[in-house]
Amino acid sequence: MWLLSLLACAVLVGVSILWLDRPLSNWVHRTTYGNPLVIRLSQIPDPLFVLAWPGLLLAGAVSLWRRRFDGAWASLALCSGSVALVMLIKNGLKVIAGRTWPETWINNNPSFIRDGAFGFHWFAGWDRAYASFPSGHLSVMLACCSVLWLRHPRWRWLYLLLIMLTAVGQLGANYHWLSDVIAGAFLGTATGCFTVWLARRQVHS
């Protein structure tokens, strides 16, 4: 199943790179770029970047003190661990891919809108000017929401809403290409599902 999902993701990313990324970026630049509401939507996952490691340490310490790994503390530990893990993975992928951004927004970076720059510069992602792929915000949002999706299914409508709003914000602010968003969403989902699977395996072993 995961192999098929990875293949589907690769196809969607490829189609986006070849035919959708540039037209969508041009359209966004003309319509929603700079809209304050869209920018706010893009920032929904921001707290996750800051709280992942503290959340993991806190939940781990409480679980050790309680000598139990269940309930809300287990969910916090798994969400935090999933987000922390995906941050490491996506940072590595950004370094490898070295992709240019749609807009110029950091370190006078070359961009598609300003310079017509569009491509991958392999292993150049140490410089944030070449760190567009994959979307970190979608990665962390899906890493968190996929854990909650599996552990607390009652609120799936809320997780889906947060995911969609984040995607709209990231695309509508022209912060990322569509292919970045697709890849980030897949990476986050895979990481979250792996985290839950690993935890369940440990419990039943």
Specify the amino acid at residue 164.
M
Q: What phi and psi values does residue 197 have, to the nearest 5 degrees?
A: -60, -45
- Identify the domain containing residue 168 by its residue range: 32-204
* 189 is a domain residue: yes
* 8 is a domain residue: no
- pTM of the full predicted structure? 0.97
* 10 is a domain residue: no
pLDDT bin (cut points 50, 70, 90) of residue 204 is low
* 21 is a domain residue: no
Where is 74: in which H helix or E strand?
helix 71-97
Q: What is the sign of the dihedral through the CA atoms of 170, 172, 173 and 179?
A: positive
pLDDT digits (tens, 9 = 90+) for 91-126: 999 999 999 999 998 889 999 999 999 999 999 999
Domain count across the chain: 1
pLDDT digits (tens, 9 = 90+) for 146-174: 999 999 999 999 999 999 999 999 999 99
**DSSP summary character for residue 16:** I
* 164 is a domain residue: yes
